[in-house]
Structure 1
Amino acid sequence: MIRLLARALREHAQEFSRPERHPELGPFCTYLQRRYKKPLQELPPEAWEEGLLEYVAEIIAEGWDEYGAPSAARSPEGHYLASAETPEGPLTVTAESKREAYRKARREWARRLLG
């Protein structure tokens, strides 16, 4: 999926003379230029793919360092509660099983980091 998205980003970026100044594409294009120390037009599709994978991985790793990972525990009422800190503030979810609560919290935690 990331590889397909990277290809689409590359194709879209080719529509602009200065994609690094584009409001949505800019941060990623700047990241690629710094990472590979080449103009965007010289980067092969594989560089865009690897660059996007690394970009997403860095966001997740930095979020993990800054906010920590979600955790889950049983509530006194018997259901499971998972919580985490995110850039948007605290996150809390409930579920019938610990695994499901933790899964829901991880998914939302990642969504907020990548949003």
Structure 2
Amino acid sequence: MIRRLARLLREVARGLPDPDEDPDLGPFCTYLRQKYGRHALDLSPEVWEEGLLELIAETIAEGWDRYGAPSAARDPEGGFVASAEGPGEPIVVRASTKREAYREARREWVKRLLR
């Protein structure tokens, strides 16, 4: 999935007069230039893929350091509850199994970090 997204972003950038100035793609092109020391359009599709993976991993790791990861516990009212702090309001998920509650809380937490 990341490979296809990175290649699509690269193709879009190639069609722009100056991808660094694009309000949506510019920040990623700047990130690539700073990370690899060359203009984004001079980088191979594989480097775009690696750059996108690195940016996503960095964002999640920074979120983990800043907010902590979601956690889950037994709900005194039955089932399980999972919670997380993160950007925006706290996340609270109730489910019949601990795994399901934790999984849903993680999913929402990662979505918020990547927005």
User: Number of residues paired by the alignment?
Assistant: 115
Task: Spell out the pairing of 1:2-81 with structure 2 (5 A cutoff).
Answer: 2-81=2-81
In structure 1, how many angstroms separate the alpha carbons of the residues matched to 2:94 and 2:23?
36
Q: Does the CA contact (< 8 Å) of 2:10 and 2:41 recur in 1?
A: no
CA displacement at 1:24 relative to structure 2: 1.0
Secondary structure of the residue that 1:17 maps to in structure 2? coil
In structure 2, how many angstroms separate the alpha carbons of the residues matched to 1:29 and 1:109?
26
In structure 2, how many angstroms separate the alpha carbons of the residues matched to 1:92 and 1:22?
37
Runs of 4+ aligned structure 1 residues displaced above 2 Å come to none
Q: Deviations over 1:25-59 (max 9, x none)?
A: 11111100000100122111111010000010000
Q: Deviations over 1:62-112 (max 9, x none)?
A: 000001000001111112110001111211111000010000000110011
In structure 2, how many angstroms separate the alpha carbons of the residues matched to 1:87 and 1:22?
25
Which residue of the partner structure matches residue 101 of structure 2? Answer: 101
Q: Does the CA contact (< 8 Å) of 2:13 and 2:19 recur in 1?
A: yes
Q: Please, what is the CA RMSD of the aligned residues?
A: 0.8
Q: Give the TM-score normalised by the residue count of structure 1.
A: 0.96
Q: Does the CA contact (< 8 Å) of 2:13 and 2:41 recur in 1?
A: no
Return the letter of the residue paired with 1:68. Answer: G
Return the letter of the residue paired with 2:113. Answer: L
Secondary structure of the residue that 1:86 maps to in structure 2? coil
Q: Give the TM-score normalised by the residue count of structure 2.
A: 0.96
Return the letter of the residue paired with 2:9. Answer: L
Consecutive unaligned residues of structure 1, counting only runs of 5 or more, are none
